[in-house]
Structure 1
Amino acid sequence: MRVAFVSMTTTRHRDTEGTRRLERVAHQLADRGHDVTVYCAAWWDEYDDQRTIDGVTYHGVTVSPARTSFAARLPVLLARHRPDVIHVAPRPPAAVFGASTGGTLARASLIVEWYGDEGLADSRTVTQSLREAAAVITPSELVRTQVRERGIDDGRTEQIPNGIDLSLVQSVDPAEPVEVAFAHRLDESANVDSLLLALAELRDRDWSATIVGDGPLRDDYERQATDLRIDDRITFVGEVSREERVAIYRGAHTFVHTAYREYFATELLWALGAGSVGIVEYQANSSAHELIENHHRSFRVTDPQELADAIVESGSLERWSFDDSFASYDHAAVVDAYLDVYRDVIAAHGLF
Structure 2
Amino acid sequence: MNHVHLRRRQLLPNGAPLDVIESVEQVEVERDLPPTFFLTAGHLIHRKGIDVVIASLQEAKRRGVRLYLVVAGDGPERETLERQSRDQGVSGQVTFLGNQSQRQVLALMKSCLGFVLASRAEGMPLVIAEAMACGKTVVASQVDGVPEIVQDGVTGVLVPPDDPIALASGLIKVHSDEVFRCSLAERGKEWAYREYNWEVIANRYLDLINQCSEGR
Q: TM-score range by the shorter chain?
A: 0.7 to 0.9
Deviations 1:32-80 (A, max 9, x none): xxxxxxxxxxxxxxxxxxxxxxxxxxxxxxxxxxxxxxxxxxxxxxxxx
Alignment of 1:41-190 (within 5 A): 134=4, 155=7, 157-174=9-26, 175=29, 177-190=35-48
Distance in 2 between residues matched to 1:345 and 1:189, nearest whole Å:
36
Larger mean CA deviation between 244-253 and 337-346 belongs to 337-346
Which whole-Å deviations, capped at 9, do the CAs of 1:154-201 have from their partners, x for residues lacking one? 736321122102222121012465321111211121111211111112
Q: Distance in 2 between matches of 1:133 and 1:184?
A: 40
Q: 1:307 to 1:180 in 2, by over 3 A?
A: same
Residue in 1 aligned with 2:201?
334
Which residue pairs with 2:189 in the alignment?
A: 323
Q: Secondary structure at the match of 2:74?
A: coil
- The structure where helix makes up a greater share of residues is 2
More strand by share: 1
Q: Is the Cα–Cα contact under 8 Å of residues 254 and 279 in structure 1 kept in the other structure?
A: yes
> Given the alignment of the two structures, is residue 299 of structure 1 paired with residue 162 of structure 2, yes or no?
no
- Alpha-carbon deviations, 1:326-345, whole Å to 9, x = none? 12212222222112211221
Seen in structure 2, the aligned counterparts of structure 1 residues 295 and 161 have a Cα distance that, compared at 3 Å, is: farther
- Which of residues 207, 232, 239 is equivalent to 2:99? 239
- 2:70 touches 2:95 (CA, 8 Å); kept in 1? yes
Matched AA of 1:338: Y
Q: Counterpart amino acid of 2:154?
A: H
Q: Distance in 1 between matches of 2:190 and 2:10?
A: 24
Partner AA of 1:134 in structure 2: V
Shift of 1:244: 0.7
For residue 113 of structure 2, the aligned residue among 230, 253, 256 is: 253
* SS of corresponding position for 1:326: helix
Q: How far apart in 2 are the matches of 1:254 and 1:279?
A: 7
| Letter aligned with residue 52 of structure 2 | S
Query: Secondary structure of 1:340's partner?
Result: helix
Q: TM-score, normalising length from structure 2?
A: 0.81
How many Å apart are 1:307 and its aligned residue? 1.0
Matched AA of 2:159: V
Query: Which residue in the other structure is 1:276 paired with?
Result: 136
Q: TM-score, normalized by length of structure 1?
A: 0.52
Cα distance in 1, alignment partners of residues 3 and 117 from structure 2: 34
Structure 1: distance between partners of 2:173 and 2:213? 49
Amino acid at match of 1:241: S
Whole-Å separation in 1 of the counterparts to 2:130 and 2:53: 19
Q: Is the 8 A contact 1:269 1:291 kept in 2?
A: yes
1:133 and 1:187 map into 2 onto residues whose CA distance is 41
Distance 2:99 2:7 in 1: 40
Cα contact 1:182–1:212 (8 A) shared by 2: yes
Sort the Cα spacing of 1:256 and 1:221 in 2 relative to 1 into closer, same or farther, 3 A. same
Equivalent residue for 1:56? none
**What is the number of equivalent residue pairs in this alignment?**
199
Q: Retained in 2: the 8 A contact 1:134–1:156?
A: no
Q: Check 1:279–1:345 CA distance in 2 against 1; reply closer, same or farther (3 A cut).
A: same
Query: Structure 2: any 5+ residue segments left out of the alignment?
Result: none
Cα deviation per residue 1:104-139 (whole Å; 9 max; x = unaligned)? 7xxxxxxxxxxxxxxxxxxxxxxxxxxx8737xxxx
